[in-house]
Structure 1
Amino acid sequence: MKFAGTEQYVATADLTVAVNASVTLERPLLVKGEPGTGKTELARQVALSLGLPIVEWHVKSTTKAAQGLYEYDAVSRLRDSQLGDERVHDVSNYIRKGKLWQAFEAETKVVLLIDEIDKADIEFPNDLLQELDRMEFHVYETGDTIRAKHRPVIVITSNNEKELPDAFLRRCFFHYIRFPEAETLKQIVEVHYPGIKEHLLATALTQFYEIRETPGLKKKPSTSEVLDWLKLILAEDLSPEELKRDPASLLPKLHGALLKNEQDVQLFERLAFMARGRS
């Protein structure tokens, strides 16, 4: 199995190498990068490219590692016992399978996405070490051991909100998705908006990179945000000339797609004010 990108996903050479190295080593691929650079979508496109089903586990701040294995619903069992329900005699009726269990019991190899692992508690990655290493776990309530029928291709994403434990990092193949250079970003745009006029795209991307590189910007716009911006530009049928920034504020047209907080909007307004003062 070799990943080489898809028609819907432009994969750089180093990203392709990272995915295939992870598959060969049978180690989780830990993908970091700015939000909006396509980390989650990568797992879906790996599944599509390799012809595998995907199991997605989206981690939240309240997510516990054990939930990826299973959850025992003791409250429902107690309620059913009070009602005289016969189901209470079989504890397996109250075991809810987690995403790892689903991936382990799949009849074919799957891609398992553990998305935004850095959102959870710092102990979350360590609590999964043994299960991801041995590809098995024990269900204490039933006494069963669940073993993976096929070792899944594991993609783990992180937005770098917190450091991950060294013991966890040792077990992963790591790749950082850098923000795409202009030529790669142009290819990405053409996948989403085939036939976009070259002059319009060149003008928009030049302006986009100028905005991204503005000193003092709190949140740099991402790949997903430039795609949203271009979608609006095409919907409004704006010409390259109409994309010129307002000299009174230096804000781009439809700036709400690119700038997501008032500090960054005010930054451009201040820069415009200072430019007028110098002229």
Structure 2
Amino acid sequence: MKFNGTADYVATEDLTVAVNAAVTLERPLLVKGEPGTGKTELARQVAMSLGLPLVEWHVKSTTKAQQGLYEYDAVSRLRDSQLGDERVHEVKNYIRKGKLWQAFEADTKVVLLIDEIDKADIEFPNDLLQELDRMEFHVYETGETIRARQRPVVIITSNNEKELPDAFLRRCFFHYIRFPEAETLQRIVAVHFPRIKETLLAEALTQFYEIRETPGLKKKPSTSEVLDWLKLILAEDLTPADLKRDPRQLLPKLHGALLKNEQDVALFERLAFMARAGR
């Protein structure tokens, strides 16, 4: 069972090594990187490449670890008891299976994505230590123990918004997705826009990297944002000459696809003003 990337996902050598190492070790793969570098998509492509079903658990700030196991709906059971519903005698009717339960009871091996784990409370990763380590958990309401029929391939993503506990990190295989170099980014673009002209791509990527490297930029544009930008450029049928930035403001054409806050737009306007004043 080896991951080598897919036709729709350009995986660097170090990323494929990380995925395959995690699969071999049967440990969760913790993937960090800038937002928009393909961390979530990686899990989908790993599942596709290995021919495995995908179970996705998208974590929010309000998500609790228990929700990944199961939830007991005591309120519905109380209401049904008041209404004389026969379902009330079977507690299993009020147990809602979480994503880990679904992955554990699957007939075949699955890929389990725990997406953006750093969004949740700091205790969230610690609360999953035993379940991810032993691949089992206890359901107190029914007295049963749920064990994984086959150990899933677990991929956990983080945008590095908060530090994760050492005990959790120790149980993971770690990989940081660096922002792609120009050659890798060209390969990524070729997957999405195979007919784009080389001269247009060269001009667009030159400007893109110049923008990313601008000192003082609050949010650097990501891989997904450059793909959006190129899609707009192709839709508008712009030429390399059209992409040349106006020295009076330095903002790139269709800059709303790349710059996502007013501070960064103001930064380029300020740089243009300073350049004019220095003439």
TM-score range, shorter chain: over 0.9
In the alignment, structure 1 residue 55 sits paired with structure 2 residue 27:
no
**Partner Cα separation in structure 2 for residue 245 and residue 15 of structure 1:** 35
Aligned to 2:240: 240
**Partner Cα separation in structure 2 for residue 127 and residue 242 of structure 1:** 54
In the alignment, structure 1 residue 165 sits paired with structure 2 residue 165:
yes
Measure how far apart 1:151 and its partner are: 0.1
Residue pairs, 1:93-242, within 5 angstroms? 93-242=93-242
Measure how far apart 1:195 and its partner are: 1.4
**Partner Cα separation in structure 2 for residue 249 and residue 160 of structure 1:** 33
Measure how far apart 1:246 and its partner are: 1.6
Measure how far apart 1:134 and its partner are: 0.5
Measure how far apart 1:116 and its partner are: 0.1
**Partner Cα separation in structure 2 for residue 216 and residue 62 of structure 1:** 32
Aligned to 1:25: 25
Aligned residue type for 1:215: P
Aligned residue type for 2:31: V
Where 1:271 maps in the other structure, the secondary structure is helix
**Partner Cα separation in structure 2 for residue 175 and residue 256 of structure 1:** 31
Where 1:157 maps in the other structure, the secondary structure is strand
- Give the ranges of 4+ consecutive aligned residues of structure 1 lying more than 2 Å apart after TM superposition: none
**238-247 or 22-31, which deviates more:** 238-247
Aligned to 2:64: 64
Aligned residue type for 2:145: T
Measure how far apart 1:180 and its partner are: 0.1
**Partner Cα separation in structure 2 for residue 202 and residue 221 of structure 1:** 17
Aligned to 1:92: 92
CA-to-partner distance for each residue in 1:150-172, whole Å, 9 max, x for gaps?
Answer: 00000000000000000000000
Aligned to 2:83: 83
Measure how far apart 1:7 and its partner are: 0.2
Measure how far apart 1:248 and its partner are: 1.3
Where 1:241 maps in the other structure, the secondary structure is coil
**Partner Cα separation in structure 2 for residue 188 and residue 124 of structure 1:** 34
Measure how far apart 1:247 and its partner are: 1.5
Measure how far apart 1:62 and its partner are: 0.2
Where 2:30 maps in the other structure, the secondary structure is strand
CA-to-partner distance for each residue in 1:180-225, whole Å, 9 max, x for gaps?
Answer: 0000000000000111100000000000000000000000000000
In structure 1, the gaps of 5 or more residues are: none
Aligned to 2:272: 272
Where 1:209 maps in the other structure, the secondary structure is helix
CA-to-partner distance for each residue in 1:67-115, whole Å, 9 max, x for gaps?
Answer: 0000000000000000000000000000000000000000000000000
**Partner Cα separation in structure 2 for residue 127 and residue 6 of structure 1:** 34
In structure 2, the gaps of 5 or more residues are: none
Measure how far apart 1:117 and its partner are: 0.1
**Partner Cα separation in structure 2 for residue 273 and residue 38 of structure 1:** 36
**Coordinate RMSD, CA, aligned:** 0.3
Aligned residue type for 1:24: T
Aligned residue type for 1:73: D
TM-score for both structures, normalised by structure 2: 1.00
Aligned residue type for 2:113: L
Length, aligned pairs only: 279
Measure how far apart 1:130 and its partner are: 0.3
